[in-house]
Amino acid sequence: MGPASRMILVAEAATPEETRVASEYFASLKPRRWIRVVETGTAPVTRPAGWMLVDESAGATEPIGERVIEISEDFEQSELRNPTSGFVAYVPRGSLKSGEMLVRTVGHGRIMACVMCHGQNLKGQYMKGMGDVPPIAGRSPSQMARQLIDFRSGARQGKNSAQMRGLASKLSNKDIVAITGYLASLNP
Ligand code: HEC
């Protein structure tokens, strides 16, 4: 069972009161930087293990291509769920600049700039008629890419996701790599 299905089971089992208390707790936490982004032509050789990529390269690298390679800074600490041991994301060279352009440039025609809804600092905001637009700055690029791909394929749908569906359908995989690399490089 994938992470999303597990999460749905947990969420469905929670009472409204439990959901409220959990929301208050999460809202009280101060976001802090978790991802270190590195632009590069090559990345460590990795393999999937559980729900993560694991670096088993012993120093060996391979061309990064059109991928974001996100691995823990210290695998053992991540396995122990140490809340102070973060992740590193290798992204193709040039991602940060083209990601910034796609995210911020208003009126370049192809897509609506993300800052129009997610806010200038991309930390989310409340918008009349749309509700809460979530924060996307400083978050896991793999997680953000998964959401964009799910909007694009229609796997993620809900009453608030209509806006995102139209937008994501115009994004190529290369755009998603650049966008999520840039977003991960920002302060949450
Ligand atoms: C017209 C307003 C609008 C624009 C423009 C927009 N978004 Fe969104 N975005 C939303 C809303 C509303 C949601 C919440 C959708 C939901 O609840 O399912 C969302 C959700 C997301 C999510 C999922 C976040 C999460 O916590 O799961 C990502 C990732 C995202 N947007 C990225 C982007 C990117 C990248 C762009 C620019 C290419 C963009 N958005 C432009 C309104 C917008």
At 131-169, the pLDDT tens digits run 889 999 999 999 999 999 999 999 998 888 888 998 999
Residue 120 CA to ligand 1 center (angstroms) comes to 13
pLDDT digits (tens, 9 = 90+) for 114-126: 999 999 999 999 9
Are 20 and 57 members of one domain? no
User: Which sign, positive or negative, has the C-alpha torsion 9, 10, 13, 14?
Assistant: negative
Residue 71 has pLDDT above 80, yes or no: yes
The values of phi and psi at residue 121, to 5°, are -90, 5
Ligand 1 neighbours (beta carbon < 6 A)? 103, 111-112, 114, 116-118, 130, 133-134, 136, 144, 147-148, 158, 160-161, 163-164, 167, 179
Are 25 and 36 members of one domain? no
- The tally of domains found in the chain comes to 2
Residue 52 has pLDDT above 90, yes or no: no
Are 101 and 168 members of one domain? yes
Are 20 and 104 members of one domain? no
The DSSP string of 130-143 is: TEEEPP-TT--HHH
Closest protein CA for atom 27 of ligand 1? 147
Roughly what angle, to the nearest 10 degrees, separates helices 173-184 and 141-153? 140
Residue 1 has pLDDT above 80, yes or no: no
Structural domain of 107: 31-184
- Which of 95, 118, 126 has most ligand 1 atoms within 8 Å of its beta carbon, as the pocket-test mutant? 118
